[in-house]
Chain A
Amino acid sequence: DVKVTQSSRYLVKRTGEKVFLECVQDMDHENMFWYRQDPGLGLRLIYFSYDVKMKEKGDIPEGYSVSREKKERFSLILESASTNQTSMYLCASSSDRAYGYTFGSGTRLTVV
């Protein structure tokens, strides 16, 4: 089974901190994605990447950046954490648009 691993399940950070959320997949998938999920708002795409060194903005990229130096690893960076970035962050990967996503277990981030 494809495994997508997110480094932290729960994280508490202070306003203004730089935050790194790590995601690693073990099935050589080309496509990787970062979403946030908030009650009533559903899944919102932050950034995605379909190749190493490539990145594309999703629907809500403001305040975030990403890094993909290796195929298996896709990192989400909160440049200066703010309280409105408190959310569940979900990483996902896919081998092809026809096959659906495999999601990681999620990181619940609280910014205080």
Chain B
Amino acid sequence: QKEVEQNSGPLSVPEGAIASLNCTYSDRGSQSFFWYRQYSGKSPELIMSIYSNGDKEDGRFTAQLNKASQYVSLLIRDSQPSDSATYLCAVNEGGGSYIPTFGRGTSLIVHP
């Protein structure tokens, strides 16, 4: 059974710091990796996609993928209180699957 593991948190960081969120996965054949942000009471929103080893940057967000070690991480630079949310990691295997496996999410709290 495919698994995607995330620390549930909460991860608490001060405003302006770097928040580091981590995710490990079990399926070595996985090819697509996603991070979603979910504010309390709202639906998830896709914020980052990454497909190859290395870093991908988008504004204050950087996704890092290491397929050999089977982990993907999300760094949030200059964290703001508005970044406080639950972050969901999702992993798609290859071979035509349309269905990602979701982690249960890490709660991030950015305090002023």
Residue positions of A touching B, CB distance < 8 A: 31, 33, 40-43, 45, 48, 50, 58, 90, 94, 97-106
Q: Is the interface of A mostly helix, strand, loop or mixed?
A: loop
Residue positions of B touching A, CB distance < 8 A: 31-32, 34, 36, 42-46, 49, 51, 88, 90, 92, 96-100, 102-105
CA distance A94 to B100 in the complex (A): 11
* Chain B residues whose C-beta falls within 8 Å of the C-beta of A99 in the assembled complex: 49
Which of A31, A102, A104, A106 is within 8 Å of B98, CB to CB? A31
* Chain B residues whose C-beta falls within 8 Å of the C-beta of A103 in the assembled complex: 43-45
- What residue of chain A has the Cβ atom nearest to residue B92's Cβ? A97
B44 CB to nearest chain A CB (Å): 5
CA distance A45 to B101 in the complex (A): 10
Asked if A97 and B32 make an inter-chain contact with CB atoms under 8 angstroms apart, the answer reads yes
* Chain A residues whose C-beta falls within 8 Å of the C-beta of B32 in the assembled complex: 97-98, 100
